[in-house]
Chain A
Amino acid sequence: DTAVSQTPKYLVTQMGNDKSIKCEQNLGHDTMYWYKQDSKKFLKIMFSYNNKELIINETVPNRFSPKSPDKAHLNLHINSLELGDSAVYFCASSQDLGEQFFGPGTRLTVL
C-alpha cells in the first residue's frame, strides 16, 4: 500500500495556465506538507497543514494555494504558471514532530 501518493507524476503545461496537484496519505497522520525541489535538487518547504488548518506558509507567491479538504488530503493549486515554477513538488506527512514520509513527487514543467 502506498503511504503518501501524489497525482499526477508528470505535468507539462504552458505559461499562464492553472494546474492542481493532489496528495493523499493513508498513514492517519495529522500534518501534511508541500515541498519544492528546484533544478539544483534544493528542497524547501512551502506549506504545512495540521488537521486541515494552515500552520506554515513560507512566503510562497499567492499564486500557490493549498487546500486540505480533510486531514488525509492536501492539494496544491497553482494559478498563472510561470517558467520558474518548473520543479519537482513533494508532498509529505507526519504525526506530531515525528519523521516525515514523502510522496514520489510531481515533476512540473512549464513551457
Chain B
Amino acid sequence: AQSVTQPDIHITVSEGASLELRCNYSYGATPYLFWYVQSPGQGLQLLLKYFSGDTLVQGIKGFEAEFKRSQSSFNLRKPSVHWSDAAEYFCAVGPFSGGYNKLIFGAGTRLAVHP
C-alpha cells in the first residue's frame, strides 16, 4: 500500500543552522512528491514539488529537496534556518491509479527554531 513516513516527529535547530527533514515513501510507480508547510493556525503552503527530471528541486523560502529513487526518499533541506521557519512540515505523495489526484501525507515533522 502507498504510504509516506516522516521518521522525525519533532526537530529543534538553532537559528542559522542547517536543516534536513526526512521523508520516505512507498509507491508502486514513479511518484509525484511534495513538501508542504503549515504555520500555526494556517493552511498548507506548497514549498516544492517533484514530478520528473532533475532530482534536486528548488522551492520557495530557500528550501530544496532531493529525490532518491534507490532510497525511496525525498528529504527536505535548508542551509540556514530562520526563526520564521518554525512550523509543521508535511511530505506527500501522489497521484494514484485511475489518475485520481489523491495525496497521501506523512504524519508531519514539527520544527522548532532556537534563537
Contacts and interface: CB of A to CB of B under 8 A. Distances in A.
Given A90-B44, A102-B43, A104-B42, A43 B101 contact: no
A55 B100 contact: yes
A105 B110 CA distance: 18
Interface in A85-104: 90, 92, 94, 96-104
Contacts of A42: 105, 107-108
B74 interface: no
Nearest to B95: A97
Contact of B34 (A4, A99, A103): A99
Given A41-B107, A44-B105, A96-B101, A103 B32 contact: no
A31 interface: yes
B101 A103 contact: no
Contacts of A40: 107
Nearest to A41: B108
Contacts, number: 52
Interface residues of B, number: 23
The bracket for how many chain A residues form the interface is 20 to 34
A48 B108 contact: no
A31 B38 CA distance: 22
Contacts of B90: 43
Nearest to A107: B41
Contacts of A4: 43
Given A31-B101, A45-B102, A55-B100, A99 B46 contact: yes
Interface of A: 4, 31, 40-45, 48, 55-56, 58, 90, 92, 94, 96-105
8 contacts: A41-B108, A42-B108, A43-B44, A48-B101, A58-B102, A92-B44, A97-B95, A99-B49
The 4 residue pairs across chains A and B that have the minimum distance between CB atoms: A102-B44, A43-B105, A104-B43, A102-B43
